[in-house]
A and B are shown apart, each in its own frame.
Chain A
Amino acid sequence: MSAVTVPAQASLWDRVRGYSPPSRFLPVIVTFALFVGMFGAGGIRYDGFADPQVFLSLLLDNSFLIVLAVGMTFVILAGGIDLSVGSVVALSTMIAAKTLQMGWSPYLSIVAVLAVATLLGTLMGLLIHYFEIQPFIATLAGLFLARGLTYLISVESIPITDPTFSDLAFKTIELPGGYYTTWAVVIALAVVAVAAYVLARTRFGRTVYAVGGNEASALLMGLRVAGVKVGVYAISGFCAGLGGLLFALYTLSGYSLHAVGMELDAIAAVVIGGTLLTGGRGYVVGSLIGVLVLGTIQTFISFDGTLSSWWTRIAIGVLLLVFVVVQRLMTRRQK
Chain B
Amino acid sequence: MTDTLTPPEAGRPAAVPSSRPGVVARALANPLLWPLLALVALLVVNVVATPSFLDVRIQDGHLYGNVIDIARNSAPVLLVALGMTLVIATRGIDLSVGAIAAIAGAVACTRIVGAGDEGAATTAIMACTIALAMCVLLGLWNGFLVSVIGIQPIIATLVLMVAGRGLAMLVTDGQITTVHNETFSDLASGYVLGLPVAFLIALAMVGLTAVLTRRTALGMLIEAVGINPEASRLAGVRSRTIIWTVYVFGAVCAGLAGLIIAANTNSVNANSLGLWIELDAILAVVIGGTALTGGRFSLLGTVVGALFITTLARTIPNIGIPSEANYLFKAIVVVAVCLIQSPRARSAFRVRRPARAVSKGAHS
Contacts and interface: CB of A to CB of B under 8 A. Distances in A.
**Are chains A and B native binding partners rather than an unrelated pairing?**
yes
B60 interface: no
Interface stretch (B68-76, B122-130, B321-329): B321-329
- Tell me if A's interface is mostly helix, strand, loop or mixed: helix
Interface string B140-164: 0000010001111011101111111
B25 interface: no
Interface stretch (A60-68, A130-138, A194-202): A130-138
Contacts of A267: 158
B328 A144 contact: yes
| Chain B facing A: main interface SS | helix
Given A325-B151, A328-B151, A137 B322 contact: no
A66 to B, nearest CB: 19
Contact of A314 (B156, B158, B166, B335): B166
Nearest to B93: A136
B330 interface: yes
A314 B161 CA distance: 10
A313 to B, nearest CB: 3
A252 interface: no
B163 A81 contact: no
A316 B154 contact: no
Contact of B174 (A142, A256, A264, A309): A309
Given A127-B335, A144-B327, A149-B328, A332 B162 contact: no
A155 B156 CA distance: 35
A314 B170 contact: yes
Given A148-B330, A256-B324, A277-B155, A140 B279 contact: yes
A11 interface: no
Contact of A132 (B163, B283, B330, B342): B342
B319 interface: no
Interface string A231-270: 0000000000000000000000000100010001001100
Interface residues of A, number: 46
A48 interface: no
B296 interface: no
A320 interface: yes
B163 A318 contact: yes
A322 B166 CA distance: 17
A324 B151 CA distance: 8
B242 interface: no
A133 B279 contact: no
Contact of B325 (A141, A148, A312): A148
Contact of B346 (A127, A132, A134, A148): A132
A118 B249 CA distance: 40
Interface string A146-185: 0111011001000000000000000000000000000000
Interface in B289-348: 292, 322, 324-331, 334-335, 338-339, 342, 345-346
Contacts of A312: 166
A220 B281 CA distance: 38
A170 to B, nearest CB: 30
A149 B170 CA distance: 34
Nearest to B159: A321
Q: Which of B283, B324, B331, B342 lies at the interface centre, i.e. has the most chain A CB atoms within 10 A of its CB?
A: B331
B286 interface: yes
Given A81-B154, A310-B174, A141 B331 contact: yes
A148 B329 contact: yes
A155 B324 contact: yes
A314 B145 CA distance: 17
Interface in A291-320: 308-318, 320
Given A148-B328, A332-B150, A313 B165 contact: yes
A132 B150 CA distance: 25
Interface residues of B, number: 47
Given A151-B322, A267-B158, A310-B174, A131 B292 contact: no
B150 A328 contact: yes
A278 B160 CA distance: 19
Interface in A176-224: none
A145 interface: yes
B325 A151 contact: yes
A127 B338 contact: yes
Contacts of B154: 81, 136
B167 interface: yes
B274 to A, nearest CB: 13
A143 interface: yes
A313 B328 contact: no
Contacts of B330: 144, 148
Contact of B331 (A134, A145, A320): A145
A144 B330 CA distance: 6
B77 interface: no
Q: Which of A127, A143, A256, A310 has the largest count of B CB atoms less than 10 A from its CB?
A: A310
A138 B154 CA distance: 15
A289 to B, nearest CB: 18
B331 A317 contact: no
B327 A147 contact: yes
A267 B158 CA distance: 10
Contacts of B169: 308-310, 313
A314 B163 CA distance: 4
B161 A141 contact: no
Contacts of B326: 148
B131 interface: no
Given A131-B339, A137-B292, A152-B324, 5 more contacts: A148-B325, A148-B328, A151-B322, A277-B152, A324-B151
23 contacts: A81-B154, A127-B338, A136-B154, A136-B292, A137-B334, A140-B282, A140-B334, A145-B331, A152-B324, A152-B325, A155-B322, A256-B324, A310-B166, A313-B163, A314-B166, A315-B166, A316-B166, A317-B162, A317-B166, A321-B159, A324-B151, A324-B156, A332-B150
Interface of B: 93, 145, 149-152, 154-156, 158-167, 169-170, 173-174, 270, 275, 279, 282-283, 286, 292, 322, 324-331, 334-335, 338-339, 342, 345-346, 349
Interface of A: 81, 127, 131-134, 136-138, 140-145, 147-149, 151-152, 155, 256, 260, 264, 267-268, 271, 277-278, 308-318, 320-321, 324-325, 328, 332
Q: Which 5 A-B pairs have the closest CB atoms?
A: A317-B163, A313-B166, A148-B328, A148-B327, A151-B324
